[in-house]
A and B are shown apart, each in its own frame.
Chain A
Amino acid sequence: MPDPVKLTIDGRQIEAAPGTLLINAAKAAGIEIPAFCYYDGYSLQAACRMCLVEVEKTPKMPTACTTPVAEGMIVRTDTEQVRRARKMTLEFLLTNHPLDCPVCDKGGECELQDMVFRYGAGGSRFIENKWHVDEKQWSPVVFYDGPRCILCFRCVRVCNEGMGVGALGIVNRGSVSEIAPNEGDHLNCDECGMCIDICPVGALTSGTYRYQSRPWEMDHVGTICTHCSNGCKTTLGVRNGEILRGNNRDRSGINGEFLCIKGRYGFDFYNHPERLQSPLMRVNGTLQPVAWSTALEAVARKFTETKNAGGKFGVIGSTRTTNEENFYLQKFAREGLGTNNIDHHRSGDVVTLLDALSGRANASLATTADLYTSKAVLIIGADLSLEQPFLAFQVRANFRHHAAKVYVVTPEPVREDKYAARSMRAAGDPIWGALDQMRDALANEAELVILFDDSIKGEGVRRLLEFGTALGKPVKYVALVDYANSRGAVDMGLTPDLLPGYHASPQRGLSLDEMINAPDLDVLWVIGANPLSRADLSASSPFLVVQDMFLTETAERADVVLPAASAYEKSGSFTNVCGEVQRLKKGLDVMGTKPDLEIIGLIAKEMGLAATVGPWIADRVFDQIRRTVRGYDVSLPVIATGGAAQTAPVNGRISSTGRPEMIRSVHNDLFASGTLGRYSKILNSVLEKTEGEVEPIEAVHR
């Protein structure tokens, strides 16, 4: 580390690393220098002129956002001249900014309001006509109000630099300059809404949230997105038991300012008209609503009968239920029902990766933070920007900020090609040829993170780790998986041969496919999964119990359907693709549903097995996980305060073949999320739009 620079800000002696911008040096010392256009991590603009400060021996006031600290520099941020400059800049800004704050979405959390409140004038001397153009809808989810726009260009930068999309630009000149979308009158983009979040004012508004609420009427519930495996924090705006928005309110998650369309808008499945709100039982061949007690009694009775008769159970767990639910489910299955026939839909070979890492020097699991700091990243197989959008965001930011070298081996062109040091097209066996060609370049890197999808599994994973080790540099790995708790499901032992923490099961049970195809299955219990969407249950006709939010292909076929709560309606924890454990925070209740943990607990209770499987309280189950599951003794304060803690890798070999043939990623893109995605109006409306059948969502004023 070079020696710090000493300078004085407002009479205080401050030290900062050389090259630190004055605005950040001041911030670190607790001195606020206001700015609109400056946004940490994005290119400098010096456009808003709010951060002008006095620097001794500098005749004109420089912008603190572009001035690096210098030894002996004497800076004043609170003089009459500085205060006046801020006040007058705000006065200029407000000349053309409409004062429609009473109806503006941003009112109450608007940076312009805050700035004027703190630094501005109470009155206005502007008595001329304001410039006006009508508001424009650019996509189902993005609206733009030109006059409200203060032209800080944050949206342009986040779209271009942050997302690598570049769908926003600046058109016209002078005071009629505006932000414009890439297709003239509409956007063709990721629809991530990052531009909306980063907008300091109400110029960019969300198609789903606009004119719905005042920010202070909502509870802001920071929880984890239930869609892909990246584990982004999304803050739900909840009012009267309704989720009105998802956003990135305090940027406190591992994802910083990042959220994709799913994290921001994809919560809307929760109040889809087809959401199940009552248990259903098959009566005379059709599913009929019944009371919870009736349904639970029926399930418990069937389970007990089957168990007593030595019948065959099959249990299929979920990649979207919590660690607590998964742990509790496998415990119930193994200890309560006495079966190892338990599995889930696996999308990446985490098992073989963990096994292959055992005892290997210079090799470990990567965190999402590593993707931002590693000097080099190798992406194999996945179209990362579409399938793992936050991981892609991290890699992009790493390239932007640290000039990380990015290597790509994918079957099709990907967004990463634009800045990759080397991009090659390969699928299947030719991947190894491509890697061989990259070997020398990779060996020259100081360190590397390798991300691989389901094109590398089983022996392929071992071969990849041999390849990594032969590079002779520290290499970290990520086995890409599909869903919010895909990683947690395997960690928690939702597998026929592995107990929680990858301990070998004394007896190997049936795998998912084996259960579906078993000729003699008596009971099939499916929790939060939809295996019958792609498989046919024709070998046998078991008693089918399904816990789900919707009447999926699997639920339609069930004897009992139990309406489950979504991830936004319960507490618990998820483990993301990088093995980082984070806590879910319950945002609301949906009438008639119950969290899967409670449903399982109630079945256990009904069967008289409550004492065997223990209490169905998420915190209590998590305690048990921390005590018993290898790697999960994570710091409680970190988790409890909304942080993420990476689970320590397995130490020791795993006794499992990993059954790589069972691993199938569905490669969801930005606008798909498995079965769940079908119930999101927003994801579907964007899809329709991109297919040219545009039917914009009307703004709802109420």
Chain B
Amino acid sequence: MPYNEPNPAEVRVLSKRFGIPNSQSIDVYLANEGYQAYERAAKMTPDEIVNVVKASGLRGRGGAGFPTGMKWSFLARNSPKPKYIIVNADESEPGTCKDRLLVEFDPHQLIEGIMIAGLAATSNQGYIYIRGEYRYLIDIMNKAIAEAYDRGYLGDNVRGTGWKFHLATHTGAGAYECGEESALLESFEGKRGIPRIRPPFPAVAGAYQSPTILNNVETYAAVPSIFRMGGEEWAKLGSPKNGGTRMFCLSGHVNRPGVYELPMGFPLMRMIEEVGGGIRGGKKLKAVIPGGSSCPVLKAEECNINMDFDSLAAAKSMLGSGGVVVMDETTDIVAVALRIMRFYAHESCGWCIPCREGTTWLRKILLRIYEGHGVASDVDLVGELSKNMLGRTFCPLGDAAAMPTIAFVEKFRHEFEAYIQKQVPAAQPDPLLQLASV
């Protein structure tokens, strides 16, 4: 069973099979419209497949929101090299726990989506890169893959069409940076998860320097429903330019945290109140991180907003990976900012100077403020150092650390100042805890 009760406000397209007993099995999948989308796509040319995806308005569910159909159309299909389909199941953005469910409860939906991408790419090989912590998902996925081989959906001659398509899982080993597509490819090739210089993009030189389609789990998982419903119909599920539904991971101080599939553009306040059951303990809302820890925080009064890529961009935040973290009035923003910066400093790959040194320095300043040793200039310094990282780092991790920090300091400046002016008691350094912050 999924980990939270469904909500009536949900539009369950990707998660429609969640909760059906034995939903991982190919028989249950086949009994519930499974692999019909593949049969449809198998009759299309690669260009036709790409056009259906374009029509759906599907945008990358990993965080950046790049139009998927366009990404697929960039693939260097004429290259003599083999084409690869890579699935990013390295879900590690704090606040995000949706891909896990999509694999756990409907692995065949993912396989079907990968197959359709494979058809579009004229590819014969796919790999699912699963974060190391999700070991049990690898077992689930391997079982589903074995079933698909058994039933002829994978193999040297898929469903007798003559198309060869193989699929395998690949485990990560603990590195947030490997969620970045080029770092993931490096890691997949058995190296440190250091991003690559781009261009060339994966569509031209991805896995093994060959043309590669690389998307998030949810992106692939959305594909079968697009082909069952038709691109245009699927697009209508969401808001303009933001096709379809989205898996939102509601966490933090709400009564009913959970992963909910809601139409793109679903109002945030409704999500908190109606889906999440409101703030726990009757407290007041203070702020929301709308799309995972990289996204600039929204103050309570900014939360009357529709949850789609464009609305959040207009509010100078991001829809990100769908991790909606709700914080009530008791939340200590300084503690939150410090915890997030500790995360980025820990996960910075160390390749480029601004990210490597910037995250570490910011972590040290924020810790100092939190422990009561802040000085008046620190608040501005935190903001400025973040801005000095912004846009100058090798990959988006630097931005991911800078953007929320800038927002915390700008929107909750008084909370930082309160620590510095000793209006709130400083956190007591804990010798055991200290070990973890090095």
Contacts and interface: CB of A to CB of B under 8 A. Distances in A.
Q: Within the complex, are A and B direct neighbours (CB within 8 Å)?
A: yes
Interface of A: 44-50, 52, 60-61, 66, 84-85, 88-89, 91-93, 95-96, 125-126, 128-129, 131, 150-151, 170, 172-177
B348 A174 contact: yes
Chain B interface SS verdict (over half): helix
Nearest to A126: B361
Contacts of B364: 128-129
Contacts of A125: 377, 381
B392 A177 contact: no
Contact of B360 (A66, A91, A175): A175
A173 B392 contact: no
Given A48-B353, A93-B357, 18 more contacts: A44-B197, A46-B352, A49-B352, A50-B353, A52-B392, A61-B391, A66-B197, A88-B354, A92-B354, A95-B357, A96-B357, A126-B361, A128-B361, A151-B351, A174-B347, A174-B356, A175-B350, A175-B359
A46 B197 contact: yes
A47 B352 contact: yes
B201 interface: no
B369 to A, nearest CB: 12
Nearest to A131: B360
A104 B356 CA distance: 24
B396 to A, nearest CB: 11
A47 B388 contact: no
Given A46-B197, A47-B353, A95-B360, A175 B345 contact: yes
The 9 A-B residue pairs whose C-beta atoms are closest, nearest first, are: A177-B350, A92-B357, A88-B388, A128-B364, A175-B360, A174-B348, A174-B350, A60-B391, A47-B352
B361 A170 contact: no
Given A49-B394, A95-B361, A172 B353 contact: no
B61 interface: no
Contacts of A50: 353
* Main SS at interface, chain A: loop
Interface of B: 175, 192, 197, 345-354, 356-361, 364-365, 368, 377, 381, 388, 391-394
A170 B351 CA distance: 10
14 contacts: A45-B351, A46-B352, A47-B352, A49-B394, A50-B353, A89-B353, A89-B388, A95-B357, A96-B360, A173-B347, A174-B348, A174-B356, A176-B350, A177-B350
Contacts of A91: 388
A175 B353 contact: no
Nearest to B175: A173
Contacts of A45: 197, 351
B392 A85 contact: yes
Contact of A175 (B356, B381, B392, B394): B356
Given A89-B353, A89-B354, A174 B394 contact: no
A46 B388 contact: no
B361 A177 contact: no
Nearest to A178: B350
Between A47, A84, A92, A170, the greatest number of chain B beta carbons within 10 A of the residue's beta carbon is seen for A92
A687 B192 CA distance: 33
A587 B308 CA distance: 73
Contacts of A66: 197
Contacts of A95: 357, 360-361
Given A66-B197, A128-B364, A48 B356 contact: no
A173 B438 CA distance: 12
Given A49-B392, A128-B365, A174-B360, A92 B348 contact: no
A84 B391 CA distance: 13
Contact of B356 (A85, A126, A151): A151
A60 to B, nearest CB: 5
Given A47-B394, A93-B357, A95-B357, A174 B352 contact: no
A89 B392 contact: yes
Contact of B353 (A84, A92, A131, A176): A92
